[in-house]
Amino acid sequence: MISRVAILSTGDELTSGKIADTNAQWLADRCSSMGLDVVAVLGVGDHRDRITWAWENALAQADLVISTGGLGPTSDDLTTETVAALLGEPLRFDPEVANRIRAMFRAMGREMPENNLRQAYFPESAVVIPNPLGTAPGYRASCRRGGADRQLVVLPGVPREMFRMFDETVGPWIAGSIDARTVVATRTFQTFGVSESALDERVGGVIRPDEARISYRASFPKIAVKLMLRDLPDRAEGRIEELAGRVRAELGTAIYGEGEVSMEEVVGRALTGRGATVALAESCSGGLIGHRLTEVPGSSAYFIADYVAYSNAAKRDILGVSATTLEQHGAVSEEVAREMAAGARRRAGATVAVATTGLAGPEGGTPEKPVGTVCLALSAADQEVSRRHQLWGSRDWIKLLTSQLALDWLRRWALGLSVVESGFRK
Ligand code: ATP
Ligand code: MG
C-alpha cells in the first residue's frame, strides 16, 4: 500500500540553477492532492554516485519514489543504469519499444542515431510506462528496503511528456495502490487579515494533529488554510465538515472564501447578491483595485467606474474634493479619502464607492505620515467610513495590500459585516 512518496529530479540543469524544478512541484501537487504524504523532494545532477545516493535516501523514507529526468539517449543520461544497479538487475532490451522508436524517427523522416536505442533498455523486471509524445518510455519496478515493499516510477524529464504519462498511467496505478477502502476529504479556506503564525495558533487550538493534516499556503496578502483527512467513504465527509465548522467558528469573517476562489470573485458575488454597483477612487493604488475587479468575467454587472485621481488637481476636478480639505489635512488623510469616495459614488451613480490615498514610497515619508500610511474610505447610502492604516514593505507591496484591504472592505460592506474590522497585521 502506498502512502509515503518521495520525488526525485535528475539533471545538471537543475543543480546549476539553469531551470527550476517544476516537475517536482507538479508531481508534489498531484500526489498530495491524492492524499499521499510527500516526504521529500530531492534533486541531483547527472552523476552516478549522486543519483544512487538520492535513490537510496528516497527509498529509505517512502513507499513510492517517482523520478524524472536522465532517460534520454545521451551518455549523461544515467537514470536507467543506476536504477538497474540499485535493483541488482541486468538491463533487458525491449524490441517492441525499439521498433516504436524507429517508427517515430521514420514518421518524422529522420535517420535514427544508434544511441537512441539506449531508450529501449529497461531493468529486467520493469513494467514499461508508455510515452505517447516522445521516444523515451518510462517504467516502474519494485524492490525491498527496510523489510518493506518499495515502488519505483521512472519518467522522462520533458514536462509535457511526463505530465501526460503521469495522468494516463501512473496516477491511475497509484490510485489503485492506495488504501482502496478510504477516501480523501479536504476543505480549503481563503483568509485575509490574520498572520500565518496567528492562523496556526488559532486553527491548531481547535483541531488536533491526529484529526486532520493542516497546511498553510501563503501567497501574500492571502493565506489559504487547508484541512485534509483520510477515512472510510461514509465517514470522511461528515468528519471534515465537522472540523470545517470549528475552523469557521474560530476564524469568522477572516475567511473570505472556501475552495479555490479569489477575493475579487468573492467581492463580485457579494455585490451581485446585494444588487449593488461599485465605483472606485484610487490614488496610491493607481488603478490596481479596478484591474483586479475586472479580472472577473461578468464584472460589468456591478463595476461602473474607476477614477484614478493621482494629483491634487485631479482629486478636486474629477472627484470634487474641496481645496480646503486638501490644504488642511493633506492628500493622504481620512478626510480626503472620504471626499474621494463620496465624489466617486456621486459621479458614477453607484451604490457604493471605495477610495484609497496613501504613501507607497520609497520617498516622501514624514514623521507624521511615514511611507506605508494609507487611508481608505467607503461611501454608501447606509454608511460613510474611513480608516488610516500603517502598511509596510516595498512600493508594489503597499499597493497590493491597499487593493486587498479595499476589496475586503467591499466584501464586508456587501455582506453586511463591519468594514473597519478589516485589518492587516504582519
Ligand atoms: P530526453 O533526453 O529524452 O528529452 P530526459 O528524461 O533525459 O528526456 P532530460 O534530458 O533530463 O530528460 O530533460 C529534458 C527536458 O526536460 C529539458 O529541456 C529539461 O530542461 C526539462 N526538464 C528536465 N527535468 C526537469 C524538471 N525537473 N523540471 C522541469 N523541467 C525539466
Ligand atoms: Mg538529460
Average pLDDT over all residues of the chain: 95
pTM of the predicted protein model: 0.71
- For residue 70, the ligand 1 atom closest to its alpha carbon is 7
The average pLDDT across 99-104 equals 92
CA of 151 to the centre of ligand 1 (A): 22
Please tell me the predicted confidence (pLDDT) of residue 425.
59
Counting ligand 1 atoms within 8 A of each CB, the residue from 158, 161, 166 with the most, and so the one to mutate, is 158
Which ligand has the nearest atom to the CA of 43?
A: 1
- For residue 23, the ligand 1 atom closest to its alpha carbon is 28
- For residue 46, the ligand 1 atom closest to its alpha carbon is 11
Segment among 49-53, 112-116, 270-274, 334-338 with least mean pLDDT: 112-116
User: Which residues are near ligand 1 (CB < 6 Å)?
Assistant: 9, 11, 13-14, 19, 21-24, 68-72, 77, 136, 156-159
Please tell me the predicted confidence (pLDDT) of residue 410.
98
Residue 258 has phi, psi (to 5 degrees) of -125, 145
CA of 7 to the centre of ligand 1 (A): 15
List all residues 6 or more positions away from 314 whose beta carbon is below 8 Å from its beta carbon: none
Q: Which residue has the least CA distance to atom 1 on ligand 1?
A: 72
- Answer for the pair 17, 163: CB distance below 8 angstroms, yes or no: no
Query: How does pLDDT run across 29-67, given as a tens digit for each residue?
Result: 999 988 899 999 999 999 999 999 999 999 999 999 999
- For residue 156, the ligand 1 atom closest to its alpha carbon is 6
Which ligand has the nearest atom to the CA of 134?
A: 1
What is the C-alpha end-to-end distance of the chain, expressed in Å? 43
Q: Which residue has the cell 500610511?
A: 373
The average pLDDT across 272-293 equals 98
Rg (CA), the chain: 28
